[in-house]
């Protein structure tokens, strides 16, 4: 509908007002906010995947959103935006059918389709298949810093770079891999991991490996959060025997009750940010069970029913091995799976169990920005990220470095989620517009729609 993709040249020499790292929901929401505001800023987003997809390896049959569709990319900021979920349904000719579903929680597949529908309208400002590798300072004549060079690698392995006055990192997360599995976990999606050997996969790579996993006789799923629950059900549906192995005592429900849910409200961000660090940390701990290591109650019921039915049938295929820690994971010498040594956290006893494959539903780390910004260290004060998501820089540096999705400690539990994307995007868009002098804005790609151009 709008512009066609513009290829990334080897060395773009004119500075963009903004380069966005990653084009998931966070930076997509920012692109939408800039366009909705008719912003004159020139912007370019770089995305390592070859097309838009939202956690594609977890788009499982029957998996649902964990947030109301009203928390789409725009509605909290402007319910009349043409990029709302309702607008998407209308354009797809499904609005009435969706209403008849009587739900606030669409399938993850449908929401992925919605996000992809919006992203298609921004193909002219996103370079796909481009992995950002570093953000480097470019000293001006007077020794100050008003630009950075964003280094990247395209799908063919060629180096590319862009100049930017501001960088917004919205690069998501990397898999958290427990120590015993670090030398075993397969390459996808962990860079530099082994390509062969036993099937040890993080949940982030699940669907790509699902057929191979379906041929496995017995699979261990490590973890007790939403991903573990969804993988258990999916594998059960494929006829695979599953042992769920976790340190916790039981599969527990996510607290999504209305008062607790207020920690995901937009105005909670400012409240939390204003508190001393120890009080913030205490609140994050208190509300941990709204998001982490917890499971949608409907799924818990479904899983419990499966365990009960296998008792009725007298054939206990699956096992729930709680209060167990994986001490070692060893590839079997015959190439036939993995042996896990488990410590029982209640009585200290040890046991060994053999699996054909292991799935790590062990969550994520959000530290991509640290590696990308390492060359910028001399220009960073090391202080806390600002309320406007901008990292504080030393005098002489006018480059804005903004973070999306890795500010949970300062901005709250909504930071890694979709909860307040439109508001955060607007706050960053406002900060960017204020930071770039009007006479320097928009000398390359603009965020205006083709109709406006």
Let me know the angle formed at the C-alpha of 254 by 248 and 260, rounded to the nearest 5 degrees. 125
Pick the closer one to ligand FAD by CB: 52 or 340: 52
Strands 145-154 and 159-164: antiparallel
CA–CA separation, 361 vs 364, rounded Å? 9
Which of 118, 153, 147 is CA-nearest to residue 46?
Answer: 153
Q: Which does 170 bind (CB under 5 to 8 A by kind): ligand NAP, ligand FAD, none?
A: ligand FAD
Strand partners, 376: none
Pick the closer one to ligand FAD by CB: 65 or 245: 65
Residues in touch with ligand FAD (CB under 6 A): 21-27, 46-49, 54-55, 58, 65-67, 131-132, 170-173, 368, 404-405, 416-419
CB of 363 to ligand FAD, least distance (A): 9
CA–CA separation, 322 vs 216, rounded Å? 22
Strand partners, 338: 331, 355
Q: Does 449 bind ligand NAP (CB under 6 A)?
A: no
Q: Which does 246 bind (CB under 5 to 8 A by kind): ligand NAP, ligand FAD, none?
A: ligand NAP
Alpha-carbon distances of 107 from 55, 161, 236, rounded to whole Å: 13, 38, 20
CB of 54 to ligand FAD, least distance (A): 6
CA–CA separation, 322 vs 224, rounded Å? 9
Nearest 5°: phi and psi at 251?
Answer: -70, 125
Q: Does 178 bind ligand NAP (CB under 6 A)?
A: yes
Strands 241-245 and 218-222: parallel
Which of 29, 36, 3, 27 is CA-nearest to residue 121?
Answer: 3
Window contacting ligand NAP (CB under 6 A); options: 28-36, 217-225, 344-352, 400-408? 217-225
Q: Please report which helix (H) or strand (E) contains residue 294, including its range.
A: none
CB of 6 to ligand NAP, least distance (A): 33
Q: Does 247 bind ligand NAP (CB under 6 A)?
A: yes
Which of 173, 206, 95 is CA-nearest to residue 85?
Answer: 95
Pick the closer one to ligand NAP by CB: 42 or 204: 204
Pick the closer one to ligand FAD by CB: 67 or 399: 67
Q: Give the pair of three-digit tokens for residue 84.
A: 């709302």
Q: Does 222 bind ligand NAP (CB under 6 A)?
A: yes
Alpha-carbon distances of 447 from 51, 109, 277, 426, rounded to whole Å: 20, 28, 37, 14
Q: Using CB under 6 A, which of 73, 233, 246, 429 touches ligand NAP?
A: 246
Strand partners, 169: 21, 403
- What is the per-residue binding string for ligand NAP in 279-308, x denoting contact by CB under 6 A? ------------xxx---------------
For the segment 87-126, give every residue that binds ligand NAP (CB under 6 A).
108
Q: Using CB under 6 A, which of 3, 248, 386, 442 touches ligand NAP?
A: 248
CA–CA separation, 235 vs 232, rounded Å? 5
CB of 417 to ligand NAP, least distance (A): 6
Q: Using CB under 6 A, which of 39, 42, 48, 63 touches ligand NAP?
A: 63
Pick the closer one to ligand NAP by CB: 140 or 249: 249
CA–CA separation, 198 vs 185, rounded Å? 8
CB of 6 to ligand FAD, least distance (A): 17
Window contacting ligand NAP (CB under 6 A); options: 132-140, 162-170, 225-233, 307-315? 225-233
Pick the closer one to ligand NAP by CB: 176 or 398: 176
Q: Does 202 bind ligand NAP (CB under 6 A)?
A: no
Which of 12, 372, 23, 373 is CA-nearest to residue 162?
Answer: 12
Q: Using CB under 6 A, which of 48, 57, 161, 203 touches ligand NAP?
A: 203
Nearest 5°: phi and psi at 41?
Answer: -65, 140
Binding footprint of ligand NAP on the chain (CB under 6 A): 58, 63-66, 108, 176, 178, 203, 222-228, 230, 246-248, 291-293, 361-364
């Amino acid at each position: 509908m709008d512009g066609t993709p513009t290829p990334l040249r080897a060395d773009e020499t004119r500075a963009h007002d903004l380069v966005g790292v990653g084009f998931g929901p966070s930076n997509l929401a920012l692109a939408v906010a800039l366009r909705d505001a008719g912003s004159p800023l020139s912007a370019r987003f770089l995305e390592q995947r070859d097309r838009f997809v939202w956690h594609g390896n977890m788009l499982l049959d029957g998996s649902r959103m964990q947030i109301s569709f009203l928390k789409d990319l725009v509605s909290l900021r402007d319910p009349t935006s043409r990029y709302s979920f309702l607008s998407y349904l209308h354009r797809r000719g499904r609005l009435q059918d969706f209403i008849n579903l009587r739900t606030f929680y669409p399938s993850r597949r449908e929401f992925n389709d919605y996000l992809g529908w919006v992203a298609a309208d921004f193909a002219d400002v996103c370079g796909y298949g481009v992995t950002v590798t570093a953000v480097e300072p470019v000293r001006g004549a007077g020794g100050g810093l008003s630009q950075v060079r964003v280094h990247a690698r395209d799908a063919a392995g060629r180096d590319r770079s862009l100049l930017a006055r501001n960088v917004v990192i919205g690069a998501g997360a990397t898999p958290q891999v427990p120590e015993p599995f670090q030398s075993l976990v397969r390459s996808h999606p962990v860079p530099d991991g082994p390509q062969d050997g036993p099937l040890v996969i993080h949940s982030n790579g699940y669907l790509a490996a699902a057929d191979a996993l379906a041929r496995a006789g017995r699979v261990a799923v490590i973890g007790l959060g939403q991903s573990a629950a969804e993988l258990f059900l999916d594998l059960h549906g494929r006829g695979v025997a599953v042992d769920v192995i976790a340190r916790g005592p039981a599969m527990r429900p996510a607290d999504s009750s209305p008062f607790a849910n207020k920690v995901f409200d937009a105005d909670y961000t400012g409240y939390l940010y204003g508190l001393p660090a120890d009080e913030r940390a205490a609140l994050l701990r208190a509300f941990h069970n709204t998001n982490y290591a917890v499971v949608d109650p409907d799924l818990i019921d479904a899983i419990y029913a499966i365990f009960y039915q296998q008792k009725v049938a007298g054939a206990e295929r699956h096992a729930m091995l709680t209060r167990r820690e994986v001490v070692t994971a060893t590839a079997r010498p015959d190439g036939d799976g993995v042996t896990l040594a488990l410590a029982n956290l209640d009585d200290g006893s040890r046991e060994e169990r053999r699996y054909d494959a292991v799935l790590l539903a062990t969550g994520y780390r959000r530290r991509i920005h640290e590696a990308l910004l390492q060359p910028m260290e001399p220009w960073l004060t090391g202080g806390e990220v600002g309320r406007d998501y901008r990292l504080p820089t030393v005098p002489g540096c006018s480059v804005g470095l903004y973070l999306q999705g890795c500010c949970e400690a300062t901005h709250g539990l909504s930071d890694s989620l979709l909860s307040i994307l439109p508001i955060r995007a607007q706050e960053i868009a406002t900060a960017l517009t204020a930071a770039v002098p009007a006479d320097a804005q928009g000398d390359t790609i603009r965020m205006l729609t083709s109709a406006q151009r």
